[in-house]
Amino acid sequence: MERTETGTTDARDAAQAADLLVTVATTLNERLAVTAGELARSQTLLREASNELMTAFRGAADRIVAAQRDEGAGPEKSAEYGLVLDHLYRACQHLQSHDLVNQLIDAQKLRVDKMREKLAQAISLAAPPVVRPDQAEPWIERSRAMLDCIVAGIQQIDQDARAPLGEKHHAGSVDLF
């Protein structure tokens, strides 16, 4: 009698632990959905700003390249074109950063999506009813399977992780072999 009661208590604890895991996975998945939305919004804003800047840059760049080709331009004009070109070169360097940030956001979105996929998979493991709910073992197995799924998601993120920001000091570096 005592043994059965202990078994029931163990099963109840294991069931509560499994439920807690579902709650945590669901909450985390909801937070990640918000993050995914914010990343997408940031990317849209960045893209719109980049497009506007690119249009302005393109107009100025085409004009200066055409002006430079005009052989009738005197030395004063050429010097002025050189100054304008310097400004455009600086703009060119920063416009590249827009593009690179966009790529970084793409990578983050992919990582968030992959983690959400794994969390959804973990949550789905809790959907079917437990065959022997009065036993602790099936609940423990369910929790273990869910945790395996979540850990696989984290490992996938680690594998995909790249560190371009951490290596920022390399930006612009040149190695000639």
Partner 1 sequence: MKTILAVDDSATMREMVTFVLESAGYRVIEAEDGAQGLDRATAQNVDLVITDQNMPNMDGLTLVRSLRELRDYKSVPILLLTTESSDSMKSQGRAAGATGWLVKPFDPATLLEVVQKVLR
Interacting residue ranges for partner 1, rule: CB under 8 A: 50, 54, 58, 61, 64-65, 68, 85, 88-89, 92-100, 103, 164, 167, 170-177
Q: Rounded to the nearest whole angstrom, what is the least distance from the CB of residue 114 to partner 1 in the complex?
A: 18
Nearer to partner 1 (CB atom), residue 79 or residue 171:
171
Dist. CA 123–CA 17, nearest whole Å: 14
Q: Rounded to the nearest whole angstrom, what is the least distance from the CB of residue 83 to partner 1 in the complex?
A: 13
CB 121 within 8 A of CB 149: yes
Q: What is the DSSP string of 40-74?
A: HHHHHHHHHHHHHHHHHHHHHHHHHHHHHH-TT--
Dist. CA 117–CA 150, nearest whole Å: 10
Q: Rounded to the nearest whole angstrom, what is the least distance from the CB of residue 102 to partner 1 in the complex?
A: 8
Q: What tokens appear for 9 in the block?
A: 């208590």
Q: Rounded to the nearest whole angstrom, what is the least distance from the CB of residue 111 to partner 1 in the complex?
A: 16
Q: What tokens appear for 14 in the block?
A: 């294991």
Nearer to partner 1 (CB atom), residue 83 or residue 131:
83
Counting Cα atoms < 13 Å in the Cβ hemisphere of 18 gives 27
Q: At what angle do helices 136-160 and 2-69 cross, to 10 degrees?
A: 20
Nearer to partner 1 (CB atom), residue 20 or residue 92:
92
Q: Rounded to the nearest whole angstrom, what is the least distance from the CB of residue 79 to partner 1 in the complex?
A: 15
Nearer to partner 1 (CB atom), residue 137 or residue 167:
167
Nearer to partner 1 (CB atom), residue 17 or residue 85:
85
Dist. CA 86–CA 176, nearest whole Å: 25
